Amino acid sequence: MSASSQTKIKQKIESFDENNFHSLCNQLAKKDRDLKNIIKQYGYPPLWSRVPSFETLIHIILEQQVSLASAKAALNKLKEKIGKVTHHKLLKLTDEEMRACYFSRQKTVYARCLAESILSRQLILKGISKKSDDMIREELKKIKGIGDWTVDVFLMMSLNRCDCFPTGDIALVNSLKEVKKLPKETTKEELLLIAKKWEPYRTIAAYLLWWSYIKKRNMKL
């Protein structure tokens, strides 16, 4: 097998889409009874997907440590203010205008740092889908305000990468503990050990666990 063929196979394994999402859920269900029960009880999770854009990264920054509804409200307010969310438009906003769009002082700084990284071409989003997870993580984490959780959500939802498991996500961690009936004091290392058996499809497992969390609480998306 040629090197180019091996690369194509590897890329196919690393990502998922509407054509293979349910089959990957089923593969995990065969390996893990608890994940199977999620599908049996609630059906398949939505294939949450976002465009790999500047706006999406702003949205994920807004989602840091707040409810999804609050983050969405802030993004919608920003879009009402400037229309299409671009780095040029965002950099023209004053602190007061950012506050009026529900940005905290800290997230205003983060959003501007991201916009400036695009402007300076430190970060180039075009073609980013061709890069490895590690390369993308390294590039994004150089930007103030972007850590592993933000990178993981971007990789999972914008690039459909198969093997991410953001242990910094409170809902995901709580759902895993609920589904596996684990004590509250279970460590991050112990959770990662449990998740290891879902490799190379930990993203799919995370989607199932998020879905369980949402359905158990009757949350509206």
User: In which band, very low, low, confident or very high, does the pLDDT at 58 lie, cut at 50, 70 and 90?
Assistant: very high
pLDDT at 19: 95
Q: Tell whether 8 is covered by a domain.
A: no
Contact 155, 161 (CB under 8 A): yes
Is a pLDDT exceeding 50 seen at residue 9? no
Q: Domain tally for the chain? A: 2
Q: Tell whether 24 is covered by a domain.
A: yes
Rounded to 5°, the CA angle 40-41-44 comes to 65
Q: Tell whether 10 is covered by a domain.
A: no
Q: Tell whether 12 is covered by a domain.
A: no
Domain enclosing residue 178, as ranges: 17-47+164-216
Using one digit for the tens of pLDDT, what is the confidence trace for 125-147?
999 999 999 999 999 999 999 99
Is a pLDDT exceeding 90 seen at residue 83? yes
Q: Whole-prediction pTM value?
A: 0.91
pLDDT at 148: 97
The conformation of residue 18, written as its DSSP 8-state character, comes to T
Q: Tell whether 148 is covered by a domain.
A: yes
Residues 123 and 138 reside in one and the same domain: yes
Q: Tell whether 133 is covered by a domain.
A: yes
Is a pLDDT exceeding 80 seen at residue 74? yes
Domain boundary among 157, 180, 202: 157
Residues recorded for the chain: 221
pLDDT at 70: 96
Residues 63 and 149 reside in one and the same domain: yes
Q: Tell whether 3 is covered by a domain.
A: no
Residues 120 and 168 reside in one and the same domain: no
